Chains A and B, each alone.
Chain A
């Protein structure tokens, strides 16, 4: 087992409090979140020497990241890794490496999105983001009316076929995250502002009787579509020691991309590779993890990633999540998405940053659904489409 290195830590976080944002641009959201996260850490623009971003705020010159100029920082390291929902786990892994190599001391990750306001339909709705340039894959796959939800649904259908997984079991994931959402005032405000039919707790029955979107996924198996934003500051150990908040260490990171293969197994995600890479670097076993922040675009995403990270065996995710195991107050580990997740708190398109933010709250002892004695967390983002091509980024985090 490699020796555990504590060379980089999350020292500042901020989640934009609203999910309906009528006035601000994506860039303005990013800048406000950056300032609040730096203030949370007790740092300033002048301390930042590395900026990570997906480019969602737009740019002035193609290829030149616009945020350093907009924020007012002069940086050495920039990284525009954009792999959808797991971008921020990839970026956090890159920041850890840059810091460990002595190339950066304070890294800033930001996100701002007006997905809802822009009228995009993700979870329960329609298409994803295909570009205008012809690609052989899109020139074969765009003609069948496959929705984003449908792509994920085909994984669920096969998982049910191969392992006997049920809709009731998938629903347990929605039930646990909704419980957590009801305890998080920002999530309650989100569900209210987005006109959810109810903002209280839900049951398995509620999920499986909600309207079918793409068989076997029901409405309540699908994430919300919101606006939102956030920021995280990752600093070197010598900086972290002087910050206002206790450091939350990034022990290990892993990255992987998966695409369809002739004869391949659609139920196995890229997390089957990003997970072992992250746990290996961290020197941590999956069964030691106290809580999981997993990308809940859909319930099936959580189920397959739980398995592929090794929190349970492949095919046993359905029985693993039964009986309220994922609740913050369950006697059995791990808790799941204690902020309410994408299902019930915040999904502006790429919620990977919120996984890192809630992991940090938990390991500082600041969550609205605090897991007692939480020491180790795993955050695993998943971008793209689960049943075809997607990215997985996994970060193992530890309390000081």
Chain B
């Protein structure tokens, strides 16, 4: 019997480790470059804009807009097969970063581009939580 549990983040990946640690407190974190003020996401040790190494973590208010989305009706992944149909979306957070996640708590057919959403948390084993989004 294959392991059909949903894949979970690893805490041994150094760029994303602080992001996932913060989810234990239900904080959605992103980086800002101290030198050029650019918003950096996905997290990194260096600034992809000015080549600096001084980056600070900030906590997002967790509010944003659906940039685009799809309704997954078919998947080869055994952990997600029982969940179809479900919504995967790129979310533009108000602080200026874009992330992929799920839109939950709404009929999939009702999701729209431009829709306002806010983060909600799905707690996982080991204390980590997955940030997903629900209509604001």
Contacts and interface: CB of A to CB of B under 8 A. Distances in A.
A124 interface: yes
B92 interface: yes
Contacts of B75: 125-126, 145, 147
Contacts of B20: 139
B74 interface: yes
Interface string A254-291: 00000011111010000000000000000000000000
A199 interface: no
B77 A143 contact: no
Given A121-B76, A145-B80, A262 B100 contact: no
Nearest to A219: B74
B76 A211 contact: no
Contacts of A387: 68, 90
A139 B76 contact: no
B69 A140 contact: no
A136 B42 contact: yes
A212 B74 CA distance: 8
Given A124-B74, A127-B76, A262-B41, A140 B16 contact: yes
Interface in B1-38: 6-10, 12-13, 15-16, 19-20
Contact of B69 (A126, A157, A261, A264): A157
B9 A143 contact: yes
B92 A263 contact: yes
B98 A263 contact: yes
B68 A266 contact: yes
A161 B111 CA distance: 13
Interface size class of A (residues with CB under 8 A): 35 or more
A142 interface: yes
Interface stretch (A97-105, A148-156, A179-187): A148-156
B113 A143 contact: no
Nearest to A120: B76
A150 B72 contact: yes
A396 B135 CA distance: 47
A157 B41 contact: no
A213 B73 contact: yes
A224 to B, nearest CB: 15
B48 to A, nearest CB: 10
Contacts of B19: 140
B68 A154 contact: yes
Nearest to A134: B13
Interface string A121-147: 100111100000011110111111111
B97 A266 contact: no
A266 B67 contact: yes
Interface of B: 6-10, 12-13, 15-16, 19-20, 39, 41-44, 67-77, 79-80, 83, 86, 88-90, 92, 96-102, 113-114, 130, 132
8 contacts: A143-B7, A144-B88, A144-B100, A146-B72, A154-B69, A211-B73, A215-B71, A216-B70
Sorted nearest first, the 6 A-B pairs with minimum C-beta distance are A126-B76, A145-B80, A136-B15, A153-B70, A134-B13, A121-B76
